[in-house]
Amino acid sequence: MNGSADETVRVLEMATREKTAISDAVGTTFDWVEGGGFSMVVSDQGSEFANDRYETAVLAALAAYERNPAAAPSLRGANERLFGVFSTKLTPMMSGRTFGNIFERGDVDPASSAALTPEQLLRILIWYVVDIYHRTPHSGIGYTAPSVKWAELTKEVGTTAPPDGYRMRAAFGEALTRQVDGTGVLVNGIRYTSPKLRKFFVDHYMCDVNLRMHAPAVHRRSVLDKHLLPPGC
């Protein structure tokens, strides 16, 4: 299952942050504290990685990227089979399961027993990851729970600091174009102004500018911050 470049960048953004705001929102027992900066991002040759959007985001976050050669699985890192875990550990307990193929499904009609909204399914997935998966011994890391291994390694070697606000905007901010007038710029119904913007208006009358707006996806109460890029006129 391939994602888009924008979805891949959003995943990178989430990886830089501890996600307690998300776990709090769904009422998990434990906090989702794992997160931090990165110095190298390694991927395969998928289209979601081999594009300017993804490469620019990684470099702007002060990291490097590496794409392993195609058709060489031995050079790829170990990766958790996320959908396999969900399909074998979690979905058998849920109504409306579609199964892996028509032979497994048999005569079952998943549509007749579907009972979860997308929001409810999301809450269940987050709850499972934070409260169960992170706390279940895993054979790939010496039969230690992922949360325990995270605590051990972060205590031993620490974590890389996430990008600062400026870098977060450059790497993960949404690119917009707006016109500067005497009252500033209008973004999502909110008008922003500053001495810098007012001077810019005087020097470049009614000119379009490129903006970066960053509203962190993992925060329930986000603050819009922006950075004025070189003028587009």
The CA–CA distances, whole Å, from 21 to 25, 27, 217, 224, 225 equal 6, 10, 10, 17, 19
Enclosing H/E stretch for 20:
helix 20-26
Radius of gyration of the chain measured on its C-alpha atoms: 22
- Residue 127 confidence (pLDDT) above 60: yes
The count of other CB atoms within 10 Å of the CB of residue 47 is 12
AA letter at 229: L
- Mean pLDDT is lowest, of 85-89, 97-101, 217-221, for 217-221
CA–CA separation, 95 and 47 (whole Å): 34
CA–CA separation, 37 and 48 (whole Å): 20
Q: What is the pLDDT of residues 5-47, one digit of tens each?
A: 989 999 999 999 889 999 999 999 999 999 999 889 988 888 9
- Residue 62 confidence (pLDDT) above 80: yes
AA letter at 53: R
- For residue 16, which of 177, 176, 172, 224 has the smallest C-alpha distance? 172
- For residue 130, which of 7, 38, 21, 8 has the smallest C-alpha distance? 21
Residues whose CB is less than 8 angstroms from the CB of residue 182 and which lie 6 or more positions away in sequence, other chains included: 198, 201
Q: What is the pLDDT of residues 174-199, one digit of tens each?
A: 888 888 888 888 888 888 888 888 88
Would the CA dihedral through 28, 30, 31, 34 be positive or negative? negative
The CA–CA distances, whole Å, from 46 to 62, 67, 97 equal 22, 9, 29
For residue 191, what are the β-bridge partners?
Answer: 186
- For residue 213, which of 228, 232, 201 has the smallest C-alpha distance? 228
Q: What is the pLDDT of residues 98-114, one digit of tens each?
A: 887 888 888 888 888 88
- For residue 223, which of 21, 11, 15, 72 has the smallest C-alpha distance? 21
Write down the pLDDT at residue 92. Answer: 85
SS3 letters for 77-140?
A: CCCCCHHHHHHHHHHHHCCCCCCCCHHHHCCCCHHHHCCCCHHHHHHHHHHHHHHHHHHCCEHH
